[in-house]
């Protein structure tokens, strides 16, 4: 079993819909959680960073962490075609230099 599980998709939704992207993990020692967005032929860019259970909001994006269930989510409101990309979750422990990555979910927003 992988440490971090993420459905690779693709997930296709109409413009304006609320998108929910998820990752589950097995290591209860993880202390921080991130979402990266990767456009085609580009490097991943950090979208959201959080280290506690609960919600964190930034514009149309909300990151949610449930440590008791070992489950993290990224919600995108009012989705736009420009949100079409691969979304990767990543997590780790502060004392370790290494991030553990999900496989990435390909998201397609149809106009």
Contact call for residue 95 and other proteins (CB under 8 A): no
Question: Mask: binding to other proteins, 2-31, rule CB under 8 A, as x and -?
Answer: ------x-----------------------
User: Strand 11-14 to strand 105-110: parallel, antiparallel, or no bridges (unpaired)?
Assistant: parallel
Question: Mask: binding to other proteins, 26-65, rule CB under 8 A, as x and -?
Answer: ------x-x---x--xxxxxx--x-x--------------
Contact call for residue 1 and other proteins (CB under 8 A): no
Residues 7 and 72: their CA atoms lie apart, in Å, by 13
Residue 56 burial (10 A CB sphere; 0-12, 13-18, 19+): middle
Closest CA relative to residue 35, chosen from 95, 107, 84, 104: 104
Do the beta carbons of residue 99 and residue 91 sit within 8 Å?
yes
Residues 72 and 34: their CA atoms lie apart, in Å, by 9
Stretch that binds other proteins, among 10-18, 55-63, 68-76, 101-109 (CB under 8 A): 101-109
The size of the interface with other proteins (CB under 8 A), counted in residues, is 23
- Which residues here bind other proteins, judged by CB under 8 A? 8, 32, 34, 38, 41-46, 49, 51, 86, 88, 92, 94, 97-99, 101, 103-104, 106
């Amino acid at each position: 079993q992988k440490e971090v599980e993420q459905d690779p998709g693709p997930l296709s939704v109409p413009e304006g819909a609320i998108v929910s992207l998820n990752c589950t993990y097995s290591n209860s020692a993880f202390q921080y959680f991130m979402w990266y967005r990767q456009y085609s032929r580009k490097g991943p860019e950090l979208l959201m960073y959080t280290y506690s259970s609960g919600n964190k909001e930034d514009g149309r994006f909300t990151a949610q962490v449930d440590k008791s269930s070992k489950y993290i989510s990224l919600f995108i409101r009012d989705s736009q075609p420009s949100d079409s990309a691969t979304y990767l979750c990543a997590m780790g422990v502060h004392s370790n230099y290494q991030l553990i990555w999900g496989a990435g979910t390909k998201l397609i927003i149809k106009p």
